[in-house]
Structure 1
Amino acid sequence: MNIAVIGGTGLIGSQVVRMLRADGHEATPLSPSTGVDLLTGQGLDAALKGVDVVVNLTNSPTFDDASPAFFRTTMDNLVAAAAREGVGHAVILSIVGADRVPDLVYYQAKVLQEDILKAGPVPYSIVRATQFFEFVDAVLSWTSDETTVRLPATPIQPMAAADVARAVADVSEGAPLRGVRNVAGPEVFALDELGRITLAAHGDRRTVVTDPTAGMFAAVPGDAIIAKDGADLAPTAYRDWLAR
C-alpha cells in the first residue's frame, strides 16, 4: 500500500515509517520540511494523490488553550484533502481516557480531533495509547527542584514509543476500524512511585514527594487514563526499557 505519514519525522512517526517500509509498504514521511504543512494545508493535496492510507501523527506545539484550535484546523484540512483525493483510510493517534479528563484542555482538544475525524467522510481508525516511557523525565521536570520532585499518586500505565509505533503501523495496514483501538503498557504504576523508580535508575538522589496538586496529571480523576478491558497490552516493561 501507499501510506503517507504526516508527522513522519517525529518520535513515533519516524518509527512508523520504518516499520511500514519493513512490512513492504511504500511509506512517505510528510512534514513542513518536505513541503507539507497541515496547519496551513500547503502541499497537502499533492502529497495525498494516489495515497491509500494517511496517518496523522502531528501534535499541538503546546498543551494549553491554543491546542483546540490547532487540532480543529489541522483535522479540518486533513479530512477535506483526504476526501478530495479519495484516500480510503485515515488514522490518528490519541490518548487512552482522553474523554475522561474534562479538566485538561489538551485532552479536550484530542477528543475534538477524534470527533472531527469520526464526523468526516473518510473511513477512519483511532489508536488511543497511554503515556510514553520517553516522556517520563519531562513529567518529572515539570515539578522538580534541586532536591525534590513533587508528583501526585495518579495511576498511570505507560508504554514504549516503539510499541506505540507498532500499534499505529498495524492499524494502518488493516481495514478501517471505524472505531478506536486502545493500547497500553503491561504495568500500572502510581505516578509518584514511577518517579522513584526512574530516579533510582538514573542514580538521581532527589526525593519524590507525593503531592496531589502537583503538575498536569493532578487533574486526572481516579484511574481515568488506565486502559480498560479489551485494550491491547504492549510487551515492553518499564524497568526493562530503563535497563537498556
Structure 2
Amino acid sequence: MKVAVIGGTGLIGSQVVKDLNAAGHEAVPHSKSTGIDVLTGQGLDEAVAGADVVVNLTNSPTFDEASPAFFQTSMDNLLAAARKGGVGHFVILSIVGVDQVPALDYYRAKALQEQLLAAGSVPYSIVRATQFMEFMDAVLSWTSDDDTVRLPATPIQPIAAKDVAEAVAEVAAGAPLNGIRNVGGPEIFHLDELGRITLSHKGDKRTVVTDPTAGMFAAVEGDVLTDKDARIAPTRYTDWLS
C-alpha cells in the first residue's frame, strides 16, 4: 500500500512514516522541505499521485483566529488533489473533545477540518487523540514566571506522541472508518497536578498555583478532553518523563 504522508517530517508524521514502512507499506513523507505547499496547492497533485491513502498531519502555524482559514484552504486543496488522484482513504489527526470547546479558535478550526473531510467524497478516517505529553513544557511556559506556574485544574489524559503515531499508522493501513477513533493515554490527571509532577521530576523549584483563569485550557469546561472509552495507549506519564 502506498501512503502519502503530508506533514511527514514532523513530530507525528516522521514516526507514522517509520511505522508504516516497518509494516511493509510504502510511506512517503511530504512537507514544505520536499516542495509542497498546502496553502497554494504547489506539488500536491504530484505528492498524492498513485497513493492509496493520504494522511494529512499538517498544522496551522498559529492557534489564533487565523487557524480556521489555514484548515479551510489546506483541506480544500488536499481533497481536490485526492479526488483527482483517485485516493481511496484520507486520514487526519484531530483532538478528543475538539467540538466541545467553542471558546478556543484553534479547536473550532480543527472541528472545521473534521467537517470538511466528512462532507467530502473521499472515504475517510479521523483519529482523535488526547493531549500530547510532549506539549507539557509549552503548557508550563504559557503562564509562568520565576517563582510560579499558574494552571487550571482541567482534566487531562496525556498520551505519548509515539503512541499517537502508532494509532494513526494503524488506521491508515486499515479500511476507512468513515468516522472517528479516539485514542488516549492510560491515566487522567488534573492539569495543575500534572504540572507539579513534571516540575518535581525536573527538579524545578517553582510552585504550581491552581488558577481557573490561567492559560488556554481555562476555556475548557468539565472533562471533555478525556475519554475513558478511547483506545488506551500503553505509555504512562511518569515512564515517559523517565
Query: Where does residue 78 of structure 1 map in the other structure?
Result: 78
Residues 163-182 of structure 1: matches in 2 within 5 Å? 163-182=163-182
1:105-116 map, 5 Å: 105-116=105-116
Quote the residue 2:232 is aligned against: 233
CA distance in 2, matches of 1:70, 1:133: 25
Name the SS of the counterpart of 1:90 in structure 2.
strand
Match of 1:195 in 2: 195
Q: Deviations over 1:70-121 (max 9, x none)?
A: 0000001111110011000000000000001111110000000000000001
Q: Say whether residues 1:6 and 2:10 are aligned partners.
A: no
Structure 2: distance between partners of 1:198 and 1:57: 27
Q: Secondary structure at the match of 1:76?
A: helix
Moved over 4 A (4+): none
- Determine the C-alpha separation between the residues in 2 that align with 1:206 and 1:32: 39
Query: Unpaired runs of 5+ in structure 1?
Result: none
Distance in 2 (alpha carbons) for counterparts of 1:227 and 1:75: 27
How far does residue 224 in structure 1 lie from its aligned partner after superposition? Answer: 1.1
Measured in 2, the distance between the counterparts of 1:58 and 1:43 equals: 15
Question: Is the partner of 2:36 in helix, strand or coil?
Answer: coil
The one-letter amino acid paired with 1:166 is E
| Aligned-partner Cα distance in 1 for 2:196–2:6 | 36
Q: Which amino acid aligns with 1:39?
A: L
**Counterpart position of 1:141:** 141
Q: Spell out, residue by residue over 1:4-62, the C-alpha distance to the aligned partner (whole angstroms, 9 max, x if none).
A: 00000000000000000100011100001111111111000011111000000000000
Q: Distance in 2 between matches of 1:47 and 1:137?
A: 34
| 3-state SS of paired residue (1:83) | helix
| Correspondence for 1:18 | 18
SS at match of 1:182: strand
Q: Distance in 2 between matches of 1:48 and 1:154?
A: 40
State the alpha-carbon separation in 2 of the partners of residues 227 and 217 from structure 1: 16
* Mapping of residues 14-93 of structure 1, within 5 Å: 14-93=14-93
Q: CA RMSD in A?
A: 0.6
Structure 1 position 227, deviation (Å): 1.1
TM-score (norm 2): 0.99
> Which residue number in structure 2 is paired with residue 242 of structure 1?
241
* Aligned mates of 1:203, 1:228 — CA distance in 2: 31
With 28-37 and 192-201 compared, the bigger mean Cα shift is at 28-37
Counterpart AA for 1:241: W
Q: Please name the residue that 2:119 is paired with.
A: 119
**Alpha-carbon separation, structure 1, partners of 2:194 and 2:46:** 45
In structure 2, C-alpha distance between the alignment counterparts of 1:209 and 1:47, rounded to whole Å? 48
Give the AA of the match of 2:213.
T
Secondary structure at the residue paired with 1:93? strand
Q: Aligned equivalents of 2:47 and 2:144: distance in 1?
A: 43
